[in-house]
Amino acid sequence: MARNDTPESVAGKSSQTVGRPLAGRSAIVTGSTSGIGLGIAQSLARAGCNVVLNGFGEAEAIERERAKIAGDFDVKAMFNPADLSNPVAILEMIEAATKELGQVDVLVNNAGIQYTSPIEAFPPERWDAVIAINLSSNFHAIRAVIPQMRERNWGRIVNIASAHGLVASVEKAAYVAAKHGVIGLTKVVALETATTPITCNAICPGWVLTPLVERQIAERAARENISIDQARLDLLADKQPSGHFATPEQIGAMTVFLCSEAAAEIRGAALPVDGGWTAQ
């Protein structure tokens, strides 16, 4: 099959339902039981893609989300609890997804953790944990899934980096180092797959309104004895010139676009969705 003869172009429009451009595809989205990852999984499913959820949380809540995705979007949805600090668990997750869904066409590396501290007081074990989940897990997952993407001559890898993959902030040594590393890894994979219908790109969100960020806003309001609205504005004013949060749905829509034929020649890009944060 020639480079431009993707399964989409060969099958033609008859294989695609209007509004479901990823019908028949299957995706793994790490860190997808809430927040940005869940928004991405929902967006992919809306586009017709089978999805594998991954992450931590209450079993009943995760099952509700899995069942809702499957029911709302008429796709297969499964959950895998792989601990992404464990390379063996990552490999087993990809093997399980391949067995259950037949293939993994789309890999979204979204899982991440944070720890803040001045570097001289930064606990080495926290550094290791952040690097393992935010960076090394991306490498292990990509390494495991690329062979089957090459065999089928199509694939999409989307790494969720961060505005902190492009610029730095104080007291975030491990997070900033990991996210810069994700963008470097993205570029290497994009070059190594440049002559194939496999693409690899990174999305770099700024502040996104997730349950985790909402908790940060509430904590800031309580700490500074200000209103929730003022705490929200103050948080954004620190970094995000637009004064508005991005949303998980917007990150999901960007991911779906990067999986489309329109994005076939976007390769190795680091795409900010940050309200102007990195334009400063």
pLDDT digits (tens, 9 = 90+) for 127-152: 999 999 999 999 999 999 999 999 99
What's the confidence (pLDDT) of residue 203?
98
Where in the chain are the domains?
A: 21-206+247-273, 208-245
- 54-102 pLDDT, tens per residue? 999 999 999 999 999 999 999 999 999 999 999 999 999 999 999 999 9
266-271 mean pLDDT: 98
Catalytic residue, from 175, 207, 245, 277: name it.
175
The mean of the pLDDT values for the chain is 94
> Residue 172: pLDDT band by 50, 70, 90 thresholds?
very high
Q: Provide the token pair at 247.
A: 């949303």
pLDDT in tens, 205-262: 999 999 889 998 999 999 999 999 999 999 999 899 999 999 999 999 999 999 999 9
User: Is residue 14 pLDDT above 90, yes or no?
Assistant: no
Confidence of residue 19 (pLDDT cuts 50, 70, 90): confident
pLDDT (0 to 100) of residue 18: 63
User: Among the CATH numbers 3.40.50.11810, 2.60.40.1930, 1.10.357.10, 3.40.50.720, which is that of 21-206+247-273?
Assistant: 3.40.50.720
pLDDT at position 9 is 43
- Amino acid 106: pLDDT: 98
Our answer to whether residue 115 is catalytic in this structure is no
Give 17's pLDDT tier (boundaries 50, 70, 90).
low
